Structure 1
Amino acid sequence: MSLQEEITARASKIYRETYQMSIGELINLYRDGEMDIHPEFQRVFRWSEYQKTKLIESIMLNIPIPSIFVSQNDDGVWDVIDGVQRLSTIFQFVGILKDENGEDLPALTLQKTDYLPSFAGVQWNNEIPELSFTKEQQLFFKRARMDVIIMKKESDPTTKYELFQRLNTGGSLLSDQEVRNCLMIMTNKSFYEFVMRLDSEENFKNCLPISDRRADEQYRTELVLRLLIPENIDWEKITDYTDFAELLDKETIALCSAKLDYDIIRDKFAATFSLLYGVFEENAFKKYNGKKYIGPVMAAAFQTIAVGVYKNIQEILQLKDRNEWLTYKVQSLYSEETFIRNTTPGVRSIPRFRELSLFGDEYFRP
């Protein structure tokens, strides 16, 4: 297939329309339940009060606002792909924004800006007239227009996930895993909540002493997925991926659609990290140099040890000397040729992920 044929084939699977809509119309769509802005995303998209104020300022000063991207589902409801924080800010300002439990959030109070210093303390409705938008200002705000790009339901089903990923990475302040969390929420909220419960397991967290920065970037959540994916992935198809982040994105979406037994996974997960923390405490995934555990958590060690122990946990727990056996296996791991080969600089991430996952399963089999 030629380049042009590929372009034509892919483009023909995407159906889109562009509208100019007033903010008042968008408010009505949200109020009537015809637009899903995913309130769960508020934990991911962290705009400050000043950033929110700057958006309201831009609207009032006629400064163009980037387009909103939505996907239309089978019921005709708009699923917001890009523009969650912009729309949330608008809805919070007018006092109708709800959290993920359906409770009203406090209305936005504006801050002073360079162009509009009188914004300080202003609300949409305030008992103090000087600190409230006038009727004229409210009408101007609601009549302001924004471009809305609608991905029609006839489009390729993966389009909205591809679009979300592309719009929210690159120059974005979001980490890859934060974007991945949003993809999980959009695809299967129950699975996302299940992953978050695993992420909050005390022994799991205690095994992974990581920096605040990595915690903020949801690194532990990524590790949960790195543990779950090998049990469901088709290893023969990983050559289709050119980037490890792409593999995690698409295999996470696949997990969202898979028939998983959450109870079995939770029990195995809890048993795995209870055992690992009980034996190694926070050294479970730190390199052993023959005398002591050193350095930070190693992703390669996690991939090998966590996957291997998780896959074989029932058999390991039946060993009478399991603590001594596990200590020996973990300490010996760092002199294993397969592990050494896959922790040498220059090894590609995708083959390493496959080889260490499969090696861990075999290596930790009693």
Structure 2
Amino acid sequence: MSMSKNDQDIHTEENGQEEEPEGLDTPSESSGWGGDYPLDSVFVRKEHRTVSEVIKRIKAKRFILNPDFQRDFVWSIKKQSRLIESCLMRIPLPVLYVAEDRDGKIVVVDGLQRLITFSRYLDDEFALRGLGEGKADFPGDNLLLGKKFTDLPLNLQERVEDTQLTLCILDSKAPNRAKLDIFERVNSGEPLSRQQMRNCLFNGPATRWLRKASQSKAFLKATGGGLSKKTMRDREAINRFCAFRLLGPEKYKGDMDDFLAKCLERMNETGKEDLENLYHAFDRSMSSNYFLFKKHAFRKSLTETGPGPRKTVINIALFDVCSVIFSKIDPSIVEDNAEKIRAAIIKLLKEDGFVRGITYGTNNLFQVLLRFAWMKKAVEEAL
């Protein structure tokens, strides 16, 4: 089948460059409070705690400070010093937004840099620098320069420790969709992708599994390293594999955000052995897909013939069906029937209905069920 103009304009260079996948439907708009959620729903509560109380909980691992959706710690010493100076000047600090998980632990949604700064300073990991920049912002600036926490007079140490922090806590019982919507509203840093939000809110065995899978050689080879690590497009694709593999397409109700969140909840409650088995199934699938289609795995360009056809970007809906279906077939069977499988899938990708289903409205319930049914039938008939 010759490629349409829409297909042609999504070609990408074959250099492992990260790309925006095709067929990745935008999340459906929330109806918000009064629509999706009752107006009197209380998903956020406010609490006041001192810096020392919060640091105590951090050391007890009640606060989770290292969800890797967050950027590496990037605050300069000057900026960290200014935060400590604000405490000494008794300047009110911005609200911290956190989420409570089912175990009662606290995941930081907005304010991670501030909490890490407090933790580092109270542990004497840096000395105050860059205060005032030659101006008398604070009468004690010159006395503070070069001071670690334990170098401060006792009254100033207590002033830092007793600084009041206001925490807005997202309740663990809030619906998954509400958590993402609230997260999106309150995060004041660089805009985060929905997968980065999920990585924070469902931090645990599931997110560690996704991270490991995204680094596997088989996955990187099959995808050509084409899915963004920074925005976690790679982990989002793998999250979709896990959801359709563990929960099944029949459990999908039309809300991809909720479906992926339920998958992560399930994985966080799954035993280590079952997660290992899932990893091996995923790895086998990646190897089988690469064996069948080489650099064109999960791409519409797998239908191309002739010398050196250029590859299109990854199609996320094609990734869904091919990753799940081949995770259930022994690689030796795939190898023995490779030519027939290739022919069957190429034929399927010449069907206008199937192509539309993996290109437009890919989160639509009907389209999801249809593409899984068509691909399953095509592969089964080839075996």
- Under TM normalisation by the shorter chain, which class is it? 0.7 to 0.9
Report the 3-state secondary structure (helix = DSSP H, G, I; strand = E; otherwise coil) of the residue aligned with 2:94: coil
1:141 aligns with 2:169: no
Which of the numbers 93, 104, 117 marks the counterpart of 1:89?
A: 117
* Larger RCO, structures 1/2 (Cα 8 Å, 6+ apart): 2
Structure 2 stretches lacking a partner, 5+ long: 1-33, 136-140
Q: Could you tell me which residue of structure 2 aligns to residue 22 of structure 1?
A: 50
Q: Which one-letter code corresponds to 2:182 in the other structure?
A: R
Closer, same or farther: CA 27–157 of 1 in aligned 2, 3 Å: same
Q: Give CA-to-partner distance per residue, 1:315-352, whole Å, 9 cap, x none.
A: x63256333233323433421344212144x5252334
1:48 CA drift (Å): 1.0
Higher helix share: 1
Q: Which one-letter code corresponds to 2:63 in the other structure?
A: I
Contact 1:183 1:253 in 2 (8 A): no
1:39 CA drift (Å): 3.9
Report the 3-state secondary structure (helix = DSSP H, G, I; strand = E; otherwise coil) of the residue aligned with 1:21: strand
Closer, same or farther: CA 205–84 of 1 in aligned 2, 3 Å: same
Structure 1 stretches lacking a partner, 5+ long: 97-106, 127-131
Q: Which one-letter code corresponds to 2:212 in the other structure?
A: R
Q: Could you tell me which residue of structure 1 aligns to residue 376 of structure 2?
A: 361
CA RMSD of aligned residues (A): 3.9
Q: Could you tell me which residue of structure 1 aligns to residue 182 of structure 2?
A: 166
Identify which range, 214-223 or 299-308, moves more after superposition. 299-308
Q: Could you tell me which residue of structure 2 aligns to residue 179 of structure 1?
A: 197
1:281 aligns with 2:281: no
> TM-score, length-normalised on structure 1?
0.73
1:256 aligns with 2:282: no
Quick one: distance in 1 between partners of 2:104 and 2:243?
33
Q: Could you tell me which residue of structure 2 aligns to residue 300 of structure 1?
A: 317
Which of the numbers 314, 337, 340 marks the counterpart of 1:322?
A: 337
Q: Which one-letter code corresponds to 2:222 in the other structure?
A: C
Q: Could you tell me which residue of structure 2 aligns to residue 46 of structure 1?
A: 72
- Report the count of equivalent residues: 333
1:349 aligns with 2:363: yes
- Report 1:187-336 matches (<5 A): 189-210=204-225, 214-233=228-247, 235=249, 238-239=252-253, 241=255, 244-257=256-269, 261-286=274-299, 287=301, 288-291=303-306, 292-311=309-328, 313-314=329-330, 317-318=332-333, 321-336=336-351
Contact 2:99 2:109 in 1 (8 A): yes
Quick one: distance in 2 between partners of 1:109 and 1:326?
64
Q: Give CA-to-partner distance per residue, 1:237-281, whole Å, 9 cap, x none.
A: 64463xx33432344324434568223322222222222223433
1:124 aligns with 2:160: no
Q: Could you tell me which residue of structure 1 aligns to residue 63 of structure 2?
A: 37
Q: Give CA-to-partner distance per residue, 1:116-165, whole Å, 9 cap, x none.
A: 88699845248xxxxx54544433222221113456xxx66346994466
Contact 1:67 1:148 in 2 (8 A): yes
Contact 1:71 1:160 in 2 (8 A): no
Closer, same or farther: CA 77–304 of 1 in aligned 2, 3 Å: closer
> TM-score, length-normalised on structure 2?
0.70
Contact 1:308 1:363 in 2 (8 A): no
Quick one: distance in 1 between partners of 2:286 and 2:215?
12
Closer, same or farther: CA 333–58 of 1 in aligned 2, 3 Å: farther
Identify which range, 297-306 or 166-175, moves more after superposition. 166-175
Closer, same or farther: CA 39–354 of 1 in aligned 2, 3 Å: farther
Q: Which one-letter code corresponds to 1:166 in the other structure?
A: I
